[in-house]
Amino acid sequence: QVQLQESGPGLVKPSETLSLTCTVSGGSFAYHQWSWIRQPPGKGLEWIGYISYSGNTDYNPSLQSRVTISIDTPKSYFSLMLTSVTAADTATYYCARSIGSSFYYSDVWGKGTTVTVSS
């Protein structure tokens, strides 16, 4: 059974870069998309983007200028970098596996990691 686990700093200073990693275990890394989704405190969900196992990415245009998702297939993890963060980036960040053919939905999620942007 595939499991995902987010890791990274829980506190990031304004204007710095948020970096998170999602480690995947128990399943194949191939033929899926690997996603990041976030949820500000008390608010709804926002899709950040995803990366294919081969490295192709799609990002939310609202974040595209600041976001990079990368993947290390042999090591079964993928990462999120978000630059120039502000308080508006404070959220719980989830990684997820997205499956399908051409149209991908997220079927397995990590537990989430809370990131606070504050000096």
Partner 1 sequence: DIQLTQSPSTLSASVGDRVTITCRASEIVYNWLAWFQQKPGKAPKLLIHKASTLQDGVPSTFSGSGSGTEFTLTINSLQPDDFATYYCQQYDSHPHTFGGGTKVEIK
Which x/- pattern over 15-44 shows residues binding partner 1 (rule: CB under 8 A)?
----------------------x------x
Strand partners, 24: 4
Residue 53 lies near partner 1 (rule: CB under 8 A)? no
Other beta carbons less than 10 A from residue 82's beta carbon = 23
What does residue 104 show for φ and ψ, rounded to 5 degrees? -115, 130
| Span 57-116, contacts to partner 1 by CB under 8 A | 58-62, 94, 98, 100, 103-112
Shortest distance in whole angstroms from residue 44 CB to partner 1 = 5
Place of tokens 């989830």: 94
And the tokens for 112?
A: 């989430």
Q: Which of 47, 51, 115, 119 is in the footprint of partner 1 by CB under 8 A?
A: 47
Shortest distance in whole angstroms from residue 107 CB to partner 1 = 5
Alpha-carbon span 17 to 21, nearest angstrom: 13
* Residues binding partner 1: number (CB under 8 A): 24
Shortest distance in whole angstroms from residue 64 CB to partner 1 = 9
Other beta carbons less than 10 A from residue 38's beta carbon = 23
Q: Which residues bind to partner 1, rule: CB under 8 A?
A: 37, 44-47, 49, 58-62, 94, 98, 100, 103-112
